[in-house]
Amino acid sequence: MSRDGQGGAAIAAKNPRNSVWRRALNHQPPAPGTPPEPAPPAPAPADTPELASVVQAALYQDGVRVSSPATLAETYRELREKPAGMAWIGLARPTESELLSLAAEFGLHPLSVEDAMEAHQRPKLERYGETLFVVLRAARYLDAPEEVDFGELHVFVGPDFVITVRHGAAPDLSAVRHRMEESPDLLKLGPEAVLYAILDAVVDGYVPVVSGVQNDIDEIETEVFGGDPEVSRRIYELSREMVEFQRATRPLVGMLHGLMAGFAKYGTDEELQRYLRDVADHVTHTSERVDGFRQALTDILTVNTTLVTQQQNAEMRALAEAGFEQNEEIKKISAWAAILFAPTLVGTVYGMNFAHMPELGWTFGYPLAIGLMGVVCVSLYVIFKRRDWL
């Protein structure tokens, strides 16, 4: 990896080992008469804590692992003893003191260290002198809850070191390390090769996520047309996951094209150039799939809203029809009740048996009462029939 001169000088001032590394890389011996550069003293154990968050640390020379230090202090010491080597340090959710120890040893920029401490960063690539700082959003699909779990990975890439800071379960960097150690020809290309292998692992991790989301969308389409009342919530939750997925994949496209644009300037190995172009193709394909998922979910939500509205209208129509039928029945019952009430009223009047009722002694009293009942009932029947109550 080519370096920026001013940035390299600044880092060398912080870290004397960088000047040794440059001479080893360029095969330039010290100038005649120049006293040998003393090795910096190893920090005291109290200054460099035993980092419990160190997942794995290893030193490599010519693509082969030569040492597996148990602590960061041992890693620092052995790397000073092997100036032509490369350290690969993996951390998981480190504390502030742990990151500050690495920053002091490798001359990491304070802004990048601050980002690694706080996490929750967007994917990005920044260059601080001789050090690249890369933020990646990894993803994995959880089958049981049928949801996407996102992790965050910070990568520091320097002339002779690679530091990975992982926040979350993904990605599985142990598999990346194992694969690189099985390809010493690629690993001996240096920290850039490790960076591209990590990028490839993160992007490859998107493939099962895409498959899982596609399966979820197929199930949601079936549930929508099946009338599942819980499908709206599932659509909303999956849409939010796709927003996060888009935030993880879309910036990668620009990041990788930025790296490819610097091939000539930084003298990137041709093999790594092909490797990076392949990763960029996969990222572009994944980003396009995620964009398609978001649009599909938007369309499905629209269709579901339409179907729910139609179902509600049908239910309201059914309720209205039921109410209408009920009203018709009430009309019929009310009409017959009125018809039957008329003779009951007449009969009640003549059933009082008062002594001074002239109709009781009248010869035509009974026929008149019966006739009155019939006339009233027929009149009411005709009236209700004309009004469609019967």
pLDDT tens digits for range 22-58: 333 333 344 444 444 444 444 433 333 444 567 788 9
The residue among 199, 167, 196, 151 whose CA lies nearest residue 91 is 167
157 — pLDDT class (breaks 50, 70, 90): very high
144 — pLDDT class (breaks 50, 70, 90): confident
5-308, which class in CATH?
Answer: alpha beta
Cα 297 to Cα 208, 227, 242, 294: the distances in Å are 19, 17, 9, 5
List every span in the chain annotated with CATH 3.30.460.20.
Answer: 5-308
Amino acid 87: pLDDT: 92
Q: What is the mean pLDDT of residues 302-311?
A: 84
Q: What angle do CA 370, 371, 373 make, to 5 degrees?
A: 65
Residue 93 is given by DSSP the state S
pLDDT digits (tens, 9 = 90+) for 249-265: 999 888 888 888 777 77
| Chain centroid to CA 65 | 36
pLDDT digits (tens, 9 = 90+) for 205-227: 999 999 999 999 999 988 888 87
Amino acid 354: pLDDT: 66
Say if domain 327-386 classifies as CATH 1.10.1740.10: no
Q: Is 367 exposed, middle or buried (0-12, 13-18, 19+ CB in 10 A)?
A: exposed
Amino acid 286: pLDDT: 92
Amino acid 13: pLDDT: 39
Residues present in the chain in total: 390
Q: Say what percent of the chain tops pLDDT 90.
A: 23
List every span in the chain annotated with CATH 1.20.58.340.
Answer: 327-386
59 — pLDDT class (breaks 50, 70, 90): very high
202 — pLDDT class (breaks 50, 70, 90): very high
Helix (H, G, I), strand (E, B) or coil at 142: strand
Does residue 21 surpass a pLDDT of 70?
no
9 — pLDDT class (breaks 50, 70, 90): very low
pLDDT digits (tens, 9 = 90+) for 74-117: 888 888 888 788 999 998 888 888 888 899 999 999 999 998 88
Of residues 305 and 38, which shows the higher confidence score?
305
